[in-house]
Amino acid sequence: MHQLRSTQFYWKAPWTADASDVYSWLLFAIGKQVEGLSMSTYTLLCKHFHRYSPPPPLYSSCSTITKLSLHDCDTEIKENNEKWEHLKSLTFIDKQYCIMSAHAMAKILLGSPRLEYLILDICVFRGNFDIRSPSLKTLKVEDAWYTPHTQVMLNKFCVKKKDMVVPSSNAI
């Protein structure tokens, strides 16, 4: 008998969920060696007034994850040695404005040498961003807000203008 292998896993936290539920479902998805992982924790934000911050080694421990989509999760990378070596697509979507620091962006790009697609939706940018990655083909930034004195620098050889959507600069 053939076993079917699920390649995509989407989990939306129910109102009864807490951080241990999120962790359990992440372990389940990683144990199934999914290629695409999408997770929404908006209900935790509404219920507990804080963002869920998944333990970073969870993502890097699964070599099959090539597409990761995080909805309403903490974007700060806390581990210095975080490696997402197989990741090709990364999406951050937030209903309440995720805060993306230049430090977190640098760690994401350094730890993801195969990253081709980066989508940032509803984000507040803090600091001076230097988005340079030889593998990055598409950068999509939607509904972004910039704290005062924020600069975003792109390597024109890595991201083609036709593949980049950057809104007019909004200041908060």
For 2-49, write each residue's pLDDT tens digit: 555 558 777 777 666 777 777 788 888 888 888 888 877 765 555 554
pLDDT band for position 116 (cuts 50, 70, 90): very high
Q: What is the 3-state secondary structure (H, E, C) of the chain?
A: CCCCCCCEEEEECCCCCCHHHHHHHHHHHHHCCCCEEEEECHHHHHHHCCCECCCCHHHHCCCCCCEEEEECECCCCCCCCCCCCCCCEEEEEEEEEEEEEHHHHHHHHHHCCCCCEEEEEEEEEECEEEECCCCCCEEEEEEEEECCCCEEEECCCCCCHHHEECCCCCEC
Which position has the higher pLDDT, 108 or 172?
Answer: 108
Which position has the higher pLDDT, 52 or 130?
Answer: 130
pLDDT band for position 120 (cuts 50, 70, 90): confident
pTM: predicted TM-score of the whole model, two decimal places: 0.71
In this prediction, residue 10 carries a pLDDT of 72
